[in-house]
Structure 1
Amino acid sequence: MKAMSPELASWLRGRTDDSVTVKRLHGDVSGRLFWRVFTGNGTHVLMDSGKIPVWPWIDIHELLRANGFRVPAIREIDTRRGWVLQEDLGSRRLLDVDDGQYMKLLDEASDIIVAMQRRLDGRTCADSIAGRRSFTPAFFMAELENTLETLFFRLLGVPMNELLELQREMRTLCESIDPSSVFVHRDFHSSNLMVVDGRLVMVDWQDARFGPPAYDIVSLVRDSYRDPGHVWEDRARKFTLAKGNMNMFQIARTACQRSLKATGTFSFHYRKTGDTRYLGYIPRTLRYLADYARICPQLDGLVRKTYRTLDKYHGEIDLRDFRSANIPEVRSR
């Protein structure tokens, strides 16, 4: 575990006091580092963005705060070195609450998505990096190319001719996703929603951009970390009614791309770190695909090909039991 640099420790003491103590927190897959900071005046969270530019995080933090969304307050900041001392939101996430509270908070989370899409329009976001980035069919397909390479080719050993068949189906999917564009958090799921005094507070917004209206709601209700069960569809339908200009086909197509993309992301981080924890999220996410094909028959060909491929090939990992097991078999690397 990487220790705090002497320069960062000195910077922190200069903004607190010499008696300050810290405890390393789990970071995220981006490589940013976090510590809980204990002082005589309470606790804070220190973020070291390292080599990752911190200005998009700051820019979108200000955009959200200025438009009435709850985000952690910034206490001190060094933009050049990527250091941020911020409010401590605690350790309780939507991921961690009991089932009863989870279901209630899903409604609040959905309301936050609707509010973001209403308040953060193109004019409001014109001066923010979020307003100058957007999803496109090419961007969606680039994400799925990562899935084809890392999961299907490198981990499962799928031959090129069958990869090309999947690629054609995935390209058709990406070209069919709703071209409408609204503000999208991009990682709006149970691990990025903190529960503070019974209410939700967003974190990890630095990749926000404009994209399909369905994107954040499918991130929430088709979450790779926590499955709300059959009620996901009810929550998705309720969202389409709140929006007034959406349907479940849009939900299914967007969800299908995001779920396939997520399996590639988990595969990539497993290959990068060797941490099998990432593999544990893949079977659940793959099971979601069947629901999308049921809702939107256009997706049936892609889902069938995907499932046949998973049943047929196994290399470094074996996902043939993905329908019933959450931990794939892993062979020695």
Structure 2
Amino acid sequence: MTGDTAADRPSTVSGLSCFTSALRDYLAVEWAADELLARSIELTLVTDLVPGRLAFSHHRPSLDRLPDGSHLAYAAAADPEALTALAAAEVATYGRAIIPVDAAELPWSVHAGRSPAPHWLLIESCGPRSWQVNDSFSALLPHGHQLPYRGEVRVRDLRAALRPFSAWLPEHRLRIRFAFGAPVTPPADGPLWLRRSSEQPAKPAILPTGQLVLHPTDVLQCLRAHLMADCRAESGLLEDLWAAASHKSFAYRWYSAHDAGTNQAALAAAIRCWDNVPRVLRFAAESASRGRPRCDLVSTLFEQLERTEADVRGRR
């Protein structure tokens, strides 16, 4: 593996998850990626897919639909060697491709050697022995500060990081299904990749019916009730809430800089509040693990979020 020099590191944008970081770099080759992402940010919860778990949808409209009418879809290769040829063909056609891998197998990841976690990589070129990857994801995570990486990775190392959809934990499968916004169920077996197609999908990209939580106030009230039930803010939910808060901050920063019709004071207050979400929830979770639950912190946090969200919606 080579790369990771200061000159080779990709540019980063604050407030993007590993999936939206990869997708931003993919979109930016052809379109105004930051605007597409910012305008898509809308948090929706689905409560009836997996017992005891919330499914987070972060985007409406769904980001698998591209501006030129094409779309991205999950596909599965027969085996890791087959994926090499498929990804190379995608790069040859579009100049890049996205593949989901296990962050625990990436040497530059703070998850390296830890529990498996899905991660998305942008592939920029494919050689017989190594591929050029662009991983612009950067964030302060519980295990450390994740820095971006851009450089060559051996094909055999990438193959070791591939996982079929069926191998992931239930919470991981939910995140993969809802990564674009609308739910998409990938093939269960074989290494996954994202294929771009000009053919129309068999079904429109819509959210499933059932116990959906659509209105922004309802979303926050649902999250508040879920967290207040035991005030432990279990780690899986913390990761989803980190992504939701980061996306909200990213979107509001974009609106603040590019939309003259926004109320700057309301946006600034909302950004401060969403930026505070990961710290408060992690402190509450750690306090609960020590036998000192701080439900008051969770309640106050969501009261502030509801107020600032109402201000943004009412004054834009």
Relative to the length of structure 1, the TM-score reads: 0.28
Relative to the length of structure 2, the TM-score reads: 0.29
Indicate the structure with greater helix content: 1
Q: Which has the higher contact order (CA 8 A, sep 6+)?
A: 2
Larger Rg: 1
